[in-house]
Chains A and B, each alone.
Chain A
Amino acid sequence: MTALTTDNLIIDIPGRAPGSPLNLEVQPGQVWGVLGPNGVGKTTLLHTLAGLRAPHRGEVLLDGRALGSLKRKSVSQQLGLVFQDRQDGFPATVLETALIGRHPWLSSWQMESGEDIAIAERALQALDVGHLRDRLVSTLSGGERQRVAIATLMTQAPDIWLLDEPSNHLDLHHQVAVMRLLSGHAEAGRAVFMCLHDLNLAARWCDHLLLMYPSGEACWGPAREMLVPSALESLYNQTLMTVEVDGAPVFVPVRS
């Protein structure tokens, strides 16, 4: 199982002063949540961690080896990403979409085998979209597409899962189901690192948090140390009330 670390990483956001350097250590078994207001660079951070964008300074390391020195194919066997926006230029079925997750594991001449299809079907079942396998993705609802995208990542089966707003478009039941699935995979030794907008989802399911402030500063650490009401209030520039439910803090915005 692989660890993802950053060495004095400063992400590159055009037109903005460089922020403070990040020294993250995402270990197998951990579930990380990234919190911050709109436009603070959460998506840019995920893309930088996945090697899809060059950092402004510093390095991303997979098990101590610089991401840039590794082959794209071997990176994609260890690390996968669910994007916030998806392109559906050409029609494709749900099963075909999930199957592209096998791409890093097949050689050029290899066709997808029965086993690859079985892996994709199991992932679709786990995300409760197995019954849609022959439907065109373009005919699905936003929440169903989101679950197909997560099933594609599960089919890819990397050690490190990066997810950009995985709870987007999901109804309450499927939000919980997806979070339970992600923490289950973390318990099995994978690392999960996701951007979230829902503070309470993060408080309930993440064991580590990274807070990104509009000023470019950031702080990170175990979730119980980060969930300080005053820190969260300044993060979102929003007054919060805190109540304790079921042993976990719940944050409610104050009506002013």
Chain B
Amino acid sequence: MPVSDLFRPLAALALVALAAMLVSVSVGSADLGIGDTLSVLVGGGSELHRTLILDLRLPRTLSAFATGGLLAVAGALMQVLLRNPLADPYVLGLSGGAAVGALLAMLAGAAGFLISGSAFAGAMLATLLVFGLAHGSGSWTPSRLLLTGVVVAAGWGAMITLILAMSPASRLPGMLYWLMGDLSHAGQPWPGLAVLVLVCLLVFPLGRSLNVLARGSLQAAALGVSVRSLEWLIYLVASLLTATAVTMAGAVGFVGLVVPHMLRLALGNDQRMILPACALAGGTLLVLADTLARVVIAPEQLPVGVITALIGVPTFLYLLYRSR
């Protein structure tokens, strides 16, 4: 595929992403016109508007974009790794591990950074556990990795229920919001955005190798791909992406599954196209979902994971129904 073929779809997705972010920072408890919003973004506007947009809404919008992009790229990588379009980071128990980490921190009364750090540690522990167990006596196959992940995820699920059952009632709302995905405590968006951009740049030169790997590991090896090290690399990268996303926003479901699938139906399965497109479209989806989460029952907020599931399930089913 020539580079020019990549440009047009990605430019279109980038424009849509910018428009979504613009909408997201202008609507909320106090609606600003697009004109006011733009004047703030170029350095003008009133003091109140500046605080509202630059200090409150923009960081949250960028966090939503980063989280969605990270999850979608992680999902696309996992699907190539397992040669299964139904794989996603959550199926392999990564978010379960992160959730157990975060909930344990909350149960112990920790707040802020400790919860995030604990979630990150939980996700990485889940990664090592699944890969270590699936590796077993030497060789692992995609089906064995998937089965190990599913069983370990069920184990994490049981631990989550156990923690919820043991927790005092006062802590439950925070825990439930975290489990459903919530951007109101996202903090700084920059680490997540940096990871997203870095990974997109790192993965791009691997794109053609990933295309070949999607045809099966033997075929890939016969075409000169070092399969074992490539598989390790994408598993670690996908885990890092998931851990970063979960740390920012809790367990937001469906983005990693729905976004890559929708893009493959529209754009084909060249990873050099799909991975950056996933970063843009996944980010856009979560920005829009988070905007809805803020305004639907304002001033109350919904967990964003509820919105992604409510949008994602029917869209996915519709596309699946219509596809060949």
Residue positions of A touching B, CB distance < 8 A:
47, 50-52, 71-77, 80-81, 83, 86-87, 89-93, 96-97, 100-101, 103-104, 106, 108-109, 111-114, 136, 139, 156
Contacts and interface: CB of A to CB of B under 8 A. Distances in A.
A89 B85 contact: yes
A144 to B, nearest CB: 17
Given A87-B215, A96-B268, A103-B212, A72 B1 contact: no
Interface residues of B, number: 29
A89 B205 contact: no
A100 B1 CA distance: 11
Interface in B193-224: 205-206, 208-209, 211-212, 214-216, 218-219, 221-224
B49 interface: no
A198 B233 CA distance: 43
B222 A100 contact: no
A87 B216 contact: yes
Contacts, number: 84
B205 A100 contact: no
Nearest to B6: A111
Interface in B253-284: 264, 268-270, 272
A92 B2 CA distance: 17
Q: What secondary structure prevails in chain B residues at the interface with A? A: loop
24 contacts: A51-B221, A73-B224, A74-B224, A75-B224, A76-B224, A80-B222, A81-B222, A83-B219, A87-B215, A87-B219, A90-B83, A91-B269, A92-B268, A100-B215, A100-B219, A103-B224, A104-B223, A106-B208, A108-B206, A108-B208, A111-B2, A111-B3, A113-B2, A156-B223
B39 interface: no
Q: What secondary structure prevails in chain A residues at the interface with B? A: mixed
Contacts of A73: 224
Nearest to A162: B222
Given A52-B218, A90-B214, A96-B268, A108 B205 contact: yes
Contacts of A101: 223
A143 to B, nearest CB: 19
Contacts of B161: none
A81 B215 CA distance: 14
Contacts of B2: 111-114
Contact of A100 (B3, B84, B212): B212
A71 B1 CA distance: 26
